[in-house]
Amino acid sequence: MTRFVAITGVRDFESRVRQAIAGALHGDLEAFPPEVLAEGPDELLRRLTGAPAEVLILGPGVSIEDALKLATVLDLQHPEISLLLVTDPSPDLLLRAMHSGIRDVVSPEIQVNDLRLLLERACLSSASRRRNLAPAPEMEQHRGRVIAVMSPKGGVGKTTVATNLAIGLGRVAPMGVVLVDLDLQFGDVASGLLLEPEHSISEAVRGAAAQDSMVLKAFLTPHPAGIYTLCAPRTPAESDYITAEHVTRLLDQLASQFKYVVVDTAPGLGEHCLATLEQATDGVWVCGMDVPSVRGLNKSFAVLKALQLMPQGRHVVLNFADRKSGLSVQDVEATINAPIDVVIPRSRTLPFSTNCGVPVLQSKTKDVATGGLQKLVDRFDPSWVPPKRIKMHRREVVS
């Protein structure tokens, strides 16, 4: 079964591609010399002897202009094929490549392990595109769900919940999830996912990226679990130049390109958080099992109801649940006047996984908190059916 096609004149690179595929990725590689570019995409596809191609690798050793011309045509006629360009990248070339439909531009010196990861992501992207191209019963094009993850106070595990939610949704929609770090001053999504982003949200809300969603994708950082991230500014000072209007336009762009847009907001109800809520289809409120956190959530709900900014989908997560805290789940529900949808027990593994930069839903660690986090992910799966709740009489003990 042919899944990978390489057009290259460099034997060493072709050998590295074969090593990356062997024993790790399902499918074979067909390689062609650079001269096939002159024949056009139709002739290239006719040459294939196996199943339809999923990943086409252009270079090294090919003419960049010829590669971009081929990519432009293939992106229009066969958008399900993931296109990779192998050459020394430059800012100008990156923009031209993205406009031509190239998914990634990588250095010819890329090593086998990194190449294997890249090809795996390209396959996931191709599979996602094939599903999206399948005939749908409705002609209407649906926008992605924008999920705002919020908390009135810091220190309740909001970023941990957001990263695990994004990782879990990545299994539901591979390469169809983007996690946005909107804690602009002190966001730590990058460290929570062990990423070293080349770009940040500061660059993504300006210039060509703000006008073209394909260019915007060039500023996202891919994660090995099959999701994209848009990380916080490198310094708190950069956040001063990002307005609520920037946030609104950014989320609108991302919702048109991704099935799920998970937004990790800053604690409280600042202008960026309110701008997110205006775009959000769902809100996930993370609350700790302590009186200040519960009271803060109660006040937040009152403010948002008054502003008519409560999203249609409301999901309340009680984190650090502990019977020894002096509060019960029923106490919290009575105070916030809303049901607790997900309970995450206090866990030693969860903070350890955050410090390691590997969310528990990525490592598939068996832990008391894993079930709660997976339950939250399941609420956003299109096939999920909400369970029936039993009404109970509760008394408010936190005021």
Pairing label, strands 313-321, 282-288: parallel
Between the CA atoms of 12, 99, 144 and 148, what dihedral angle is there, to the nearest 10 degrees? Answer: 80
Quick one: pLDDT band at residue 282, thresholds 50, 70, 90? Answer: very high
Q: Identify whether the C-beta of residue 170 lies closer than 8 Å to the C-beta of residue 362.
A: no
Q: Give pLDDT, residue 385.
A: 58
The pTM (predicted TM-score) of the whole model is 0.65
pLDDT in tens, 87-139: 998 888 888 888 888 888 989 999 998 888 888 888 877 776 666 665 544 43
Cβ pair 249, 210 in contact under 8 A: yes
Torsional sign, CA 359, 364, 366, 372: positive
pLDDT band at 392 (very low <50, low <70, confident <90, very high): very low
For the chain, what is the mean pLDDT? Answer: 86
Let me know if 364 is exposed, middle or buried by CB neighbors in 10 A (0-12, 13-18, 19+). exposed
- How far apart CA 343 and CA 384 sit, in angstroms, is 18
What is the DSSP track for 57-96?
EE-SSS-HHHHHHHHHHHHHH-TTSEEEEES---HHHHHH
